[in-house]
Amino acid sequence: MITCSAPGKIFLFGEHSVVYGKAAIACAIDKRVSATLVPCSSVKIKIAGQYKPVNPKKNPYVAGAIYEMNKIAELPGFCIDINSELPSGAGLGSSSAVTVATIKSLDVLADTKLSLKEIAEMSHKIETNVQGKASPTDTFVSTFGGSVKIPEKVHIDFFDAKIVIGNTGKFASTTNLVSDVYELMSKHPDSVNCIMDAMDRVSRDGEIEIQKKDYKKIGELMNINQGLLNSIGVSTVQLENLIWAARNSGAYGAKLTGAGGGGCMIALCDENNIQKVVNAIKKAGGDPFVCNTTKEGVRVDKNNVNPE
Amino acid sequence: MITCSAPGKIFLFGEHSVVYGKAAIACAIDKRVSATLVPCSSVKIKIAGQYKPVNPKKNPYVAGAIYEMNKIAELPGFCIDINSELPSGAGLGSSSAVTVATIKSLDVLADTKLSLKEIAEMSHKIETNVQGKASPTDTFVSTFGGSVKIPEKVHIDFFDAKIVIGNTGKFASTTNLVSDVYELMSKHPDSVNCIMDAMDRVSRDGEIEIQKKDYKKIGELMNINQGLLNSIGVSTVQLENLIWAARNSGAYGAKLTGAGGGGCMIALCDENNIQKVVNAIKKAGGDPFVCNTTKEGVRVDKNNVNPE
């Protein structure tokens, strides 16, 4: 049996503006997706307790990983079981985590010894094939873990934080949101460009405050970033309600994370106010859960096939 | 009997950034404050149906107007009755309208033939004396009416619009909000300066769309401006709820108006959706009322003392 897992991620700063080449900061979180392989005569995936053939339409990331790994190794038969601690389609990078965890498990199975860089690149290729266009951020952070500065894709000082995530439960298409922002930009180029510059500035200021570990100022910058996201039309009344509930319960700062239009918000907390923020988000109609940022990227959790 | 009245105002774009010398647009609305003078042996003001001496602490704007007008004319005795269609302390310029209407009524009474410019300047002086520091925008718009570009204080093409105003019923001190923004600016100068530039850009784009009478784009720019106001911390969850209720009921755009932190929001509407927006704001906990922008500034409504 082989089990590998990879983390989800949050955008601390700069989602959307990153599409326009501006600075952003993303962090891995300690909520993970795991891929477990057990020996099997053919290639199957466990869905609702039953092993079924891998379907590229229903399981595109797993199918993509198998397809790519088959190019570089002869894979034996296996059954794969995906388990996720992340809500899917909620802006927390669950599809990247599935892809990265699956590749790593197959890498262990086939003993191909892929580097982290190779895993990240392969995952990004798979995401791009499935989604048409995909940001390399999610796959990079899920592979390497830690706090990552975009577009450079380099680690910055680790941002060690308690985060309460609030899920609105509303799904929104990243592709549609990115194109809505593009349309707004086309209609009001001067104003929207100016806002993208402000987001860039906020991310850069954020990096400085992370270095200084000034959580209060990081929270203030998250709030500023949220207003800018609101200004380009990707917030919703549900997100605003969860965000204000968190702020009014003592969070350092709160903002949506990912594409918006639904999905999740994040609140930067400390030990003392986590429960209060959780309760407030619940009361405001959200589905809250607590996580920590993490340095850990993809990892092998169990390996009794090719022990190191 | 003499009755003079002066309009309230809304900020269409650029409140707060105007404090930092950026562009803004304010419009007079057809909700007015009137000052009625009737002959009287001494100087009194009607409060809750009874005539009482004018108290500079309780009636600072009326007292200020009397004080300033006494410098340039010998005023006979009169009783003054102030009637307002504007909620006070809600960012709609009610104190300016009181001041302007009172000065104009005294101007008619004393036959001093003040120019509009002189009325606006005197009103601003009185507001400054009362509040310590006051923007000349409110008194200027209340005196001259129309759509006014700040800081130039010149009329732009008249913005003829149906507006639904939603009052949160929460009072917030303009002075405190302006100083909160200043504090945020001191802590994060690069980011907040960049946001002020974006607000400037939005106001300038707004002026162009007003010229073109493109209500859809004006509404989009109002939404953008609201996000920027949210980013500098002057929105509240109550304001956001009224704003989103209006947007989701078909308003072209919606934003807070004035200092924020409570007070009022405005929604740009057309004939077809006014009632829907009014109902939505009510349902979201606000106190809605409908108004139009107006070209009319201060005016004489009744004058049988010194007929022209």
Q: Which range is least confidently modeled, A100-104, A172-176, B4-8, B252-256?
A: A172-176
ipTM of the complex: 0.91
Q: What percent of chain B has pLDDT over 90?
A: 93
Tell me which chain A residue has its CA closest to the CA of residue B254: A231
CB atoms within 10 A of CB A239: 30
Residues of chain B with CATH 3.30.70.890: 162-292
The residues of chain A that CATH labels 3.30.230.10 are: 2-156+296-303
Among all chains, which residue has been given the structure tokens 């009607």? B46
CA-CA distance, B277 to B273, in Å (whole number)?
A: 6
Q: From residue B256, give the alpha-carbon distance in Å to each of A42, A50, A258, B26, B241.
A: 62, 54, 26, 13, 11
Q: Which homologous superfamily is A162-292 in? A: GHMP kinase, C-terminal domain (3.30.70.890)
Residue B216: list chain A partners with CB under 8 A. none
pLDDT band at B308 (very low <50, low <70, confident <90, very high): low
- Taken as a whole, chain B contains a residue count of 308
Radius of gyration, alpha carbons of chain A: 19
Token pair for B209: 């769309």
**Residues from chain A contacting residue B246 (CB–CB below 8 Å):** none
Contacts of B202 in chain A (CB under 8 A): 188, 191
Rounded to an integer, what distance in angstroms lies between the CA atom of residue A86 and that of residue B131? 53
Question: Which candidate in A181, A184, A191 is best for mutational testing of the B interface (most B CBs within 10 A)?
Answer: A191
The one-letter amino acid code at B124 reads H
Give me the pLDDT at residue A172, please.
86
Pairing of strands A43-47, A78-84: parallel
Contacts of A225 in chain B (CB under 8 A): 231
In sequence order, the 6+-apart residues with CB closer than 8 A to the CB of A232 are: A16, A181, A184, A192, A195, B224, B227
User: Residue A3 corresponds to which tokens in the numbers above?
Assistant: 């089990």
Nearest to A205 among B191, B220, B226 (CB): B191
> Nearest-5° angle of CA B134, CA A220, CA A197?
85
- pLDDT class for B173, splitting at 50, 70, 90? confident
Interchain pair B240, A236: CB under 8 A: no
Of A194, A230, A237, which is closest to B198 when you measure between CB atoms? A194
- Amino acid at position A146, single letter: G
Contacts of A204 in chain B (CB under 8 A): 190
- SS3 label, residue B306: coil
Residues 6 or more apart in contact with residue B245 via CB below 8 angstroms: A237, B166, B277, B280, B281, B283, B284, B286
Q: Are β-strands B50-53 and B43-47 bridged in parallel, bridged antiparallel, or unpaired?
A: antiparallel
Q: For the segment B33-69, what is each residue's pLDDT rounded down to a tens digit?
A: 999 999 999 999 999 999 999 999 999 999 999 999 9
Q: Do A221 and B194 touch (CB under 8 A)?
A: no
- For the segment B197-213, what is each residue's pLDDT rounded down to a tens digit? 999 999 999 999 999 99
Q: Which two tokens stand for residue B264?
A: 């009022």
How close does chain A come to B80, measured CA to CA in Å? Answer: 44
Q: What is residue B286's three-state secondary structure?
A: coil
- The verdict on a CB contact (< 8 Å) between B235 and A223 is no
Q: Residue A233 has which token pair?
A: 């039309």
* pLDDT reading at B134 higher than 90: no
B160-172: string of b/e by CB count within 10 Å (b at 16+)?
ebbbbbbbbeeeb
Query: How many helices (H) and strands (E) are present in chain A, helices listed first?
Result: 9, 12
| DSSP-derived 3-state class of residue B167 | strand
* A288/B1 Cα distance (integer angstroms): 64
Q: Which one of A107, A138, A200, A205 is the catalytic residue?
A: A138
A33: left (phi over 0), alpha (psi -120 to 50) or beta: beta
Is A202's CB within 8 Å of B191's CB? yes
CA–CA separation, A15 and A80 (whole Å):
32
- Residue B190: closest CA among chain A residues belongs to which residue? A201
- Using a CB–CB cut-off of 8 Å, the residues of A that contact B are 184, 187-188, 190-192, 194-195, 197-198, 201-202, 204-205, 217, 220-221, 223-233, 235-237, 240-241, 244-245, 248
Supply the mean pLDDT for chain B.
95
Q: Which of A14-18, A23-27, B121-125, B127-131 has the lowest mean pLDDT?
A: B127-131
Q: Which residues of chain A have pLDDT under 70?
A: 308
Find where tokens 């049988």 sit: B304
Q: In chain A, which residues have their Cβ closer than 8 Å to the Cβ of B239?
A: none
Residue B107 clears pLDDT 70, i.e. is over it: yes
Nearest to A198 among B187, B194, B233 (CB): B194
Collect all residues of chain B within an 8 Å Cβ-Cβ radius of residue A166.
none
pLDDT at B94: 94
Is the separation of the CB atoms in A291 and A30 below 8 Å? yes
What residues of B are labeled active site?
138
Residue B61 near residue B126, CB atoms below 8 Å:
yes
CB A101 within 8 A of CB A84: no
What was the pLDDT predicted at A90?
86
CA nearest to A194 within chain B: B198
Give the model's pLDDT for residue B303: 93
Q: Do residues B230 and A227 touch, judged by C-beta distance below 8 A?
A: yes
Among A139, A148, A256, A178, which Cα is nearest to A17's? A178
**Nearest-CB residue to A194 (from B197, B223, B237):** B197
CA closest to A243 among chain B residues: B237
d(CA A213, CA A147): 13
Options 3.30.230.10, 3.90.780.10, 3.90.190.10, 3.90.76.10; CATH of A2-156+296-303: 3.30.230.10
In the predicted structure, residue B255 carries a pLDDT above the cut 70? yes
A contact test, residue of B217, B231, B248, B281 with most A CBs within 10 A:
B231
- Crossing angle of helices A116-131 and A60-72, in 10° steps, is 130
Query: Residue B188 half-sphere exposure, CB side, CA atoms within 13 Å?
Result: 33
- Best of A22, A195, A209, A248 to disrupt the B interface (most B CBs within 10 Å) is A195
